[in-house]
Amino acid sequence: MRVFELHFNPGVKEDLIFDSFCYEPENIYEKRLGSLYMAGELRNALPQNSRFLNSIAQVIKGKYYAFPVRTPEQSFKESLKKINEFLAGEVSKENVSWLGNLNFAILFLKPPTAFREKWWEINFTKTGDIKILLLRGGEITDIGENLEFQDIEPYPLKVFVNIVSGKLTVNDKILVLTKEVFEFLSNPGKNQKSQKSNQNLIQEIAKVAAGGFDEKKLREILPVNLFSKNEGAEISGVCLLIDLSETQSKDFSDKPEIITFQKELEKFSIKEALSPLIRLLVKVGLGFKRALFFVASFLILKLKRGLREPAYKLKNVLHFPKLTHHRFGSSFVKILPKLKTRNWRQIKKGLILVSALFLFLLIGFFIFQIEEKQQLKKQEAVLDEVQEKINQAEKLLIFKEVGEANVLFKESWEEILPITEKEGPLKNEANSLKEVIEENLNDINKLEKIADPQLIFEFNPKEFIPQKMVIFQQNLYLFDPFSENIFKVNPVRNNISNEMNENGEKVLIPTSNQKFNLAVALNDALLFFSKPNRITSFKNSQFGDSFSLKEPYSDFTFSNFSAFQSGLYFLDSEKGEVVKYAAPLEKGKDFPQLWLNSQTKKATDSKSMAVNGSIWILKENNTISRYYAGQYQKDLTLDFFPYPKKLYKITALPNSSYLYILEPVQNRIIILDKNGEIIKQFQSEKFDNLKDFAVSDDAKTIYLLNGLKVYKIEI
């Protein structure tokens, strides 16, 4: 058996954390329990959760191997119980940002025990959007499909619920892939120049004959250049490959191999390579020459002992004459007589090595000094140019030439940013200019920073953890895809209820044990959507019957929806299709219509949709595509400041041409006109865990769901 951990472009996306964890038995007792494997990712990750995946893995591993006398199945169940308790504890600490963003798979494999037995036992579970595939005889089976719509049980919190068991045979392969990696390997993309661009690379892996994988074989199927340029350079995630090849089925000791596919690195720079070392030597208390003497003396002492002794401790290395009144040469001569002649060959080698090191460092030092002076002159020129542009832009503002001033400020900001990101004598001056530029850009781009936004309600995490929000008849309805409860907040009275009876007591809205993923208001009803295709209406404070929508084609994926007038519009982000269902939406009357013209550009690579007469599609690349009457119209390029990093959700009102966009990564809500021009931006440091938002019918108020809190912004 061989295991490969394939990591694709780690660090490319700031708010994405992924990793894989492989634990093999360390003794004969643990061997009864087999191997434990985990892989997953955390999206929209906050800085405080940088080690969240590692913590999960350590908790599971610690519990799984804690009592080897148990059966593997018992140990697996106990480890899942333990991790659910750990995650519940995180929620009680108000660390809820991982909910809905965690995609994680856990597997254990137990090898054959009998001599002639060839079956391996496998048990696994998962949460979120992560694939577990079985490759057998060239065929691919999604063995994690039954867990695809597994919901978290909220009370008490259970993230990992169901377990799937099975058997594997020799030459089987298991693939665990995060979503981006799975989609890319299934279709590498049209923009790739590689000959593999039109191949399903998962199928290529499945075709590998018995005999097993090695790194060379994997790199033939997954060439480095496929992931270093173009679309592949933006793919970030993990793939865990477990190969039960026949030639290695009895070898249980092979360590997993980690293979990283990374973007092309910048060309080697002598300055970049040597500058840290030069700075270290110069900043050491003894200075540059003494640092060189320290290195040389250490090497000579090693050679004097015949290189037979263990590595010396620092205290044994520091027994050398003080150099306060000695030059490098005289001190070095005093040491030579003390060296034994029988080790002269080693000493000669050491002298050559020290001389080469000294020459190398000396050359590097002079190169560094020259390049430092050149770089300083360039930075001074940049600062002068930036100051001049700031002066010009400020004059343009006086004459109301806001557009031209905006361009100059943006150019200045981009030019000065690299200087502010590196240590240097001009960093403070650059930061001062950057602050001036940003103040002007914020004003021009209508960014309002709110120090203390109005809080209208805060939930108790032990009672409810909201994930979604919708506004209907002036009330906010908050729900969680993992919970059967729906809460209603009246933003005027600032109170919360599940529905009030005549006596004012709290009662639950009857949901018939249903859980909802999305919701939208349509006419006089609130429509709730449950995966994969169920619709439930809420009208007059009670739920109606739910039913399954007819699909326009067999593999239609309901990924997002919106309502306008008498129509309900669904988006299939994979195929790029928009499907319309006309009201009244009832069982037997749900006739789907492909809204997009068959010849027009499809809405692929989309993440959110809004409808207000036109259909607006928010794309993965932070652009907005406009469609009207079934035809593609244009893309809005969003060129405002601060520049968009990762836009999350778009919405619109029926009687307004404004677009509202949520960007959690920059703690803000953005209002645009239909041409993509800025109307207003609101930003606050307290918007540190934005989940959803809603806009009042009169477009005068925005409600923001931030973790457990609901904030209110008056426009």
Query: Which of these three, 421, 444, 467, is where a domain ends?
Result: 444
Residue 300, in any domain of the structure:
yes
d(CA 573, CA 586): 25
Q: Which residues of the chain have pLDDT under 50?
A: 190-197, 248-253, 266-268, 270-271, 273-274, 281-289, 292, 295, 299, 302-304, 306-336, 338-342, 500-508
- Is 504 in the same domain as 418? no
DSSP state, residue 306: T
Report pLDDT for 254. Answer: 61
Residue 559 has what pLDDT?
Answer: 84
The two three-digit tokens of residue 265, written as one number:
């690195």
**Does any domain span residue 555?**
yes
Is the same domain home to 609 and 707? yes
599 shares its domain with 578: yes
Residue 25 lies in a domain: yes
Q: Are 660 and 671 in contact (CB under 8 A)?
A: yes
3-class state of residue 99 by DSSP: coil
Between helices 427-444 and 402-420, what is the axis angle to 10°?
Answer: 150
Asked if 506 and 500 count as a contact pair (C-beta separation under 8 A), the reply is yes
CA distances from 148 to 96, 131, 140, 182, 560 (A): 22, 9, 17, 15, 17
Are the beta carbons of 40 and 131 closer than 8 angstroms? Answer: no
* Residue of 580, 573, 655, 551 lying closest to 617 (CA atoms): 573
Residues 83, 221: one domain? yes
367 falls within a domain: no
User: Residue 449: inside a domain, yes or no?
Assistant: no
Residues 13 and 150 in one domain: yes
pLDDT at 332: 46
Domain co-membership, 482 together with 547: yes
Beta-ladder partners of 103: 41
Find the CATH number of the domain harbouring 105: 3.60.40.10
Instruction: List the one residue out of 453, 476, 452 whose CA is nearest residue 466.
Output: 476
Asked, for residue 293, whether it belongs to a domain, the answer is yes
Clarify whether residues 315 and 425 are in a common domain.
no
Same domain, 412 and 475: no
3-state secondary structure (DSSP) of residue 8: strand
Mark whether 352 and 239 lie in a shared domain.
no
Question: Residues 157, 91: contact at Cβ < 8 Å?
Answer: yes
372 CB-contact burial (10 Å; exposed 0-12 / middle 13-18 / buried 19+):
middle
Per-residue pLDDT at 397: 92
Tokens of 193: 């120049």
Angstrom CA distances, 68 to 5, 32, 76, 111, 113, stand at 26, 7, 11, 15, 16
DSSP of 583-609:
SS--TT---EEE-S-TTSPP--SEEEE
Residue ending a domain, among 317, 332, 362, is 362
262, 227 contact by CB (below 8 A): yes
**What contacts 457, CB < 8 A, 6 or more positions away?**
489, 494, 495, 496, 709, 710
Quote the domain boundaries for residue 130: 2-261
Residues 103 and 202 in one domain: yes
Looking at the structure of the chain, the number of domains it has is 4
Task: Give the separation between CA 208 and CA 4, rounded to whole angstroms.
Answer: 15
User: 0.75 cut: is pTM over it?
Assistant: no
Q: Supply the DSSP string of 309-372, one letter for each residue.
A: SPPPPHHHH--S---TT--HHHHHHHHGGGS-GGGHHHHHHHHHHHHHHHHHHHHHHHHHHHHH
The span from the CA of 548 to the CA of 590, in Å, is 9
Q: Are residues 12 and 92 in the same domain?
A: yes
Is residue 76 located within the same domain as residue 10?
yes
- Phi and psi (nearest 5°) for 74? -65, -45
Last residue of a domain, one of 242, 261, 280: 261
